Chains A and B, each alone.
Chain A
Amino acid sequence: MLRFFNIIIYFLFKSKSFNLNILNLDDYWEKMNFNQDELIKKIFEKKNQINSDTFTLTRCILLALNSYFIDGLQFRELKTALKISDGNLASNLNYLIKLGYINKNEMEFDNKKLRYYTITDNGKEELKKILNWLELIKKLLEEVDYE
């Protein structure tokens, strides 16, 4: 919508009736596009700061959930919520543990050993990077009436 509005303004000012030479129209156009260019540039720059191994649906959700439930989440709770197999969940959790984003803990619960997981500071930091990156994409798309 904004872009459309800018185009209208550009052509209005370019037309004879508005050729009052009050504005430098090319400067104006360049200025209006500057933010988008910066955003696109930033999206590419920030992409490299994210660990691409973390950027899968399951791993992002695991980081987000563990960030919200700071008490920690049990393996069985995560399994119920994500509706994935034990093996799939375990391999994703183990990968995040290997990267240092999640801690694995064990405890005695009703005389049974249970595993639960908590997020580390590195994990929180990684999630923040992902969210900031998505925010840049969101900002960029807001400019184009994207549906």
Chain B
Amino acid sequence: MSKNFKKIISALKYWNIYLKRPDKAYGSRFKIQKLAYLCQSMGIPLNYQFTLYLSGPYSTRLTQDYFSAPQLVETLETDYVFNEKDIEILDKINEYVLIHPINNTYESEFLEAVSTIRYLKNIYPDMLDDELFAKTKEIKQHLKDSIIVIATNAVKKLLFKPEFLTEEVQKEIDIWDKAED
């Protein structure tokens, strides 16, 4: 088993996410892909190459990994231990994505929207919210507008660092929070 995949198993275990075997369940494969991308984009070194278009973020290498050891996704057996910095990232993903109330109803779509927007933010860091919305809508037409807006907010929270919190930023966050309600 690759070290990268060990980290993913360890992350699932940390979040208490129990999925069905990915070789038998499309939903499991979908979630692993999106969560792995979020971990990697936030700074956990996984060394997978992800593509965005069509079913992205998606990595063929990751697919090979979970097809070669699908049982591990069910048993969550791993000896990999995350460092403190990685734990912080996992906590952030948990707080802003996994336990978000929208996850109860639109888990997959929300995960898809968050990972897509995070990917776009990575390529176009200066892209404005309106452009980000339009681009996301263009490549993921099935995603609801409201989910894209909420996901954009979640990505902002994921990327947020305490030193960014100026008065102006706080005002914008308040506006987004109201929109989310």
The chain A residues found within 8 Å of chain B, CB to CB, are 65, 68-74, 76-81, 105, 107-111, 116
Contact = CB atoms under 8 A, between A and B. Distances in A.
Interface string B33-77: 100000000000000000001110010100100010000000000
Q: Is the interface of B mostly helix, strand, loop or mixed?
A: helix
Contact of A72 (B26, B60, B106, B140): B26
A-B pairs with lowest CB-CB distance, top 3 = A76-B142, A71-B29, A80-B141
A81 B54 contact: yes
B141 A69 contact: no
A113 B9 CA distance: 28
B142 A80 contact: yes
Contacts of A73: 54-55
Interface string B94-114: 000000000001111100000
B104 to A, nearest CB: 10
B148 to A, nearest CB: 14
A77 B60 contact: no
A78 B30 CA distance: 16
B141 A76 contact: yes
Chain B interface extent, by class: 20 to 34
Contacts, number: 50
A65 B140 CA distance: 17
A107 B139 contact: no
Contacts of B27: 107-109
A81 B142 CA distance: 12
A109 B34 CA distance: 15
A22 to B, nearest CB: 55
Interface of B: 25-27, 29-30, 33, 53-55, 58, 60, 63, 67, 105-109, 139-142
Contacts of A78: 54
Contacts of A111: 105
B106 A80 contact: no
A79 to B, nearest CB: 8
A107 B25 CA distance: 8
A81 B51 CA distance: 14
A116 B26 contact: yes
Of B26, B27, B108, B139, most buried by chain A (CB within 10 Å of CB) is B26
Contacts of A79: 141
Contacts of A77: 54-55, 142
Contact of B60 (A68, A76, A107): A68
Given A76-B141, A77-B55, A107-B27, A71 B33 contact: yes
